Structure formats: C-alpha cells, structure tokens
Chain A
Amino acid sequence: MKLRPRRLEDFEQVFRDNVSRIYRLSYQYLGNPDAAEDATQETFLRALRSEKDFRHSSEISTWLFRIAVNVCLDGIRQNKRRRMESLHSLPEPTVRYSAQEDLEKLDLQRRVRIAVNALPSQLRMLVVLREFEDLSYQEILSITGLSIGTISSRLNRARLQIARVFQNEFRRDL
C-alpha cells in the first residue's frame, strides 16, 4: 500500500485527533502501557491498510474504535509474554498516598481492575467501553455491531460477576 500525500496529511491529523482515546481504550482493556502502545500502533496501521473499508457515513473515531476493539480482542502480540491480569503488571501509583483512606481507595482500585481484567474478553471490552470510556449504547452498537439487548444482557453478566467478587463489601455497606 502506498501513502498518497494528501492522505498522509489527513492521516496525521486523524492520528493526532484520536491517538489519545485509542491509547486510553487499549490501556483500559489491556491494563499494560506497553501492550496499549502496541495496540494503538496496530490500530492505526490497520486503519491505514483498510482505508477503503471506511464508510464516510460513520464517524472516523467510531471506525477507529471498531478497529481498536478488534485489535485488543485479537490479543495482539500474545507471544510477547505479557500477562495483564497479574497484580504486578498494574501500574504503580506515582502519587504518594499517606492517608489510610487513600491507601484503601488505591487498593480498591487495583482490586476492581483485577476483577475487570478477570472478565471474559467480550464482557471486559463492553465494561471498558461503557464504564471507562463512557460511551452510549448507540456508540457501542456502532462499534461492536451488537444490539442494545445484547449489550445490556452482557453488561448484566459482567456487572453481576464483579458484584459477586465484592459481595461481602456490598453487604457491609448495606
């Protein structure tokens, strides 16, 4: 495939406009900055190669999200010995927490991430799109091609699975 000049400039603009969101989505799903960077790169590379598949009726960001979702679900570079579920692979905080409350919150954050990472890949992606990326059901529908009913029922399963992990704490709060 050859880059045409106009396309190259357009692509650079598209890249700049979307790279942060694609990186964030990849990071939220993969839980690892290195893997997220690979996924981001792979997403834009696939976009370059499949430019003809882009339908101008949809948003380019939606199209890129669709590619990114597939890249993440494909588990790019699985042979790189990256395992995102490990507690150790989760990012260490750069901010120093002193208050006990903050420490607890940080611990909770890590446990929630682990619980999300433990979800089956399709459910995890929906949680990332809905909970972390704050996308509407219509946007998720455009990206994944799933119906509203399927999105909802899968989110039910994902949320209930997470709820089971934290059920003791939920009871304590009641």
Chain B
Amino acid sequence: MMHFFAKRYLSAYLDDALNDKNRNAVRQHLERCSSCRQLYAAIKQSTELIQSVRKQSIPSSIVYADVRSPSFSRYGWVAAAAAFLFAVGTLLFSYSKTRSTIDPQGAIYLDLLLQEAANSGSGPQLIKSPYHALAQSPVELSRITGRQYAEPVLPSDFRFQRGFIYEEQYGGGVGRVYVSNEGKILCLFEQPVETKMAYGAGNQEVQEFLGRDCIEVLWPSLRLVSCESGDKRILMLSNISTEQLESAFRSYPDLGSQQ
C-alpha cells in the first residue's frame, strides 16, 4: 500500500507539495524501495533538464516578432490581389513612412473589441487583421497616419477607444473604434475606393454606387452606410441602432451632404 502511495506522490515529494506527514512517509519509503528510488531519480533528472532550458524557452524578442507581420498566405486565392491592393492602399495613404511596430497587447485588445462588435451584431466574426499601428487618441492617429480625420458627431456618450491602420485580404485602411456608455461599439473603417473593394450586406448598393463590380460580400453583419468614390472613402457602422446610425451618418461631415 505504501509503495503505491509513495510512487503516486513522487513528483509532489520532489516539488515539496506534501504536508509533513506525507513527506516523511515518502522519504522513509524511498530509503527502503530501490525501484521507487530509480523512478524518483529519473523524475528528478527530467525536472532538472527542463529547468535548465526553460528560461530560454520564450525569448521576449521572439514572442511577438511575427505576430502582426503581413501574412496573406492564409487568404488563399486573393493573396496576390490583396498584396497588390494593399500596396496601392499603402501608397495612397502614404503609410510607408509611418508604419510602426505596434503594441501587441493593444492589438489583441482591439481584436477583442472588433469581435465583440461583430458577435453582438449576430453576424460572423470579423477577420483578424494585422495592424501596423495603434492609436489611443484621434491626435495620435493623425500623427501616425499624417492625415486629419473629421470626428463623427455621435451621441455624447460615445468615446474614442482605438484607432488603427489595418489590412485584410481586400485591402487596408484606417479604422476607428468608439464605445458608448452602454457598451455599444461603433466601428468606422475608411479605405480608398480606388482599391475597388467594398464590404458589407450592401454589396449590391456598393456596386450600383461605384458602377462596377465588387468582389464578394465579406462581412454581412456590418451594415454599409455609404461610400464615396470621389473622396476615396467608405464608411461602415456596426452594432448601433438605426436611429444612432442615421444620426451618425447625417452628422459625418464628409458624407452628410449625401443624405
């Protein structure tokens, strides 16, 4: 009986996880039992081996090194087109000089916000996008991108949460996330119309608006409000009431005149 007990608790004994009574029992058994001593020696060596290398196991310089580098391989057939379009978008927005290493924790947090927006909107999840920069404020976003952004006039309880430069398989652009006191999330995505891309359930509307074909509906849960070919901008809003959506749309300076 003692043999089975001691054998079971060899690791706990090694890791000093036993109370005095059990520790003494295992120790006394080890003095008598050669097979348990052999097992204990092997367990101890194995632990020492892992301990000897574990500090090197997760070098901090590696941890996030590849997390957000552009990677189109997962996107299959659109990879080449996306790469090209992203290059176009990059030129249009002059991002190349401002692309910066982003805070990976902020990127994960932003992903959470975006997924939350998509999930609570009863649609599929947003595609995870590599971000090249994250901004904590509109001023910071402008500094990163070198552009000025008109603040949408939203209900007073909405506040700026994150700004980011993103890319996904159909291109890239600038995104902004606002969160209301009630926890509603408003996502604004802007990207050059020159990329000939369109999103959302209003795919047909986009095609009509642009007068040309779009590729495919990508985010059915996100409601397309409008896009403007002359001003290189698509505006998308997600997960807010129709009333708020219309209000935001009306008051958005660059698009208000189209209402």
Contacts and interface: CB of A to CB of B under 8 A. Distances in A.
A16 B183 contact: no
A109 B66 contact: no
Contact of A8 (B67, B111, B179): B179
B116 A149 contact: no
A44 B42 CA distance: 38
Interface residues of A, number: 60
Classify chain B's interface size: 35 or more
Contacts of B8: 149, 152-153, 156
B25 interface: no
A163 interface: yes
Given A33-B64, A112-B49, A151-B12, A163 B42 contact: yes
Given A27-B63, A45-B115, A159-B46, A152 B9 contact: yes
B49 A27 contact: no
Interface string A161-172: 011001100100
Nearest to A133: B54
B235 to A, nearest CB: 23
At the interface, is chain A mostly helix, strand, loop or mixed?
A: helix
Contacts of A44: 108-109, 112
A19 interface: yes
At the interface, is chain B mostly helix, strand, loop or mixed?
A: helix
A73 interface: no
Residue among A48, A94, A116, A155 having the largest count of chain B Cβ atoms under 10 Å: A155
B56 interface: yes
Interface string B41-61: 011011101111110111101
Contact of A148 (B17, B59, B63): B17
Contacts of B43: 155-156, 159-160, 163
A131 B50 CA distance: 7
A94 B65 contact: yes
B21 interface: no
B33 interface: no
B109 A15 contact: yes
A37 interface: yes
A91 to B, nearest CB: 4
Contacts of B63: 23-24, 27, 33
Contacts of B109: 12, 15, 19, 44
A131 B47 contact: yes
Given A28-B58, A109-B57, A156-B39, 6 more contacts: A16-B105, A24-B63, A44-B109, A149-B8, A152-B12, A156-B8
7 contacts: A12-B109, A40-B108, A48-B116, A80-B74, A108-B52, A156-B10, A163-B43
Interface of A: 1-5, 7-8, 12, 15-16, 19-20, 23-24, 27-28, 33-34, 37-38, 40-41, 44-45, 48, 80, 91-95, 105-106, 108-109, 112-113, 116, 127, 130-132, 136-138, 148-149, 151-153, 155-156, 159-160, 162-163, 166-167, 170, 173
Enumerate the 3 nearest inter-chain pairs by beta-carbon distance, A residue then B residue, closest first.
A3-B183, A152-B12, A155-B11
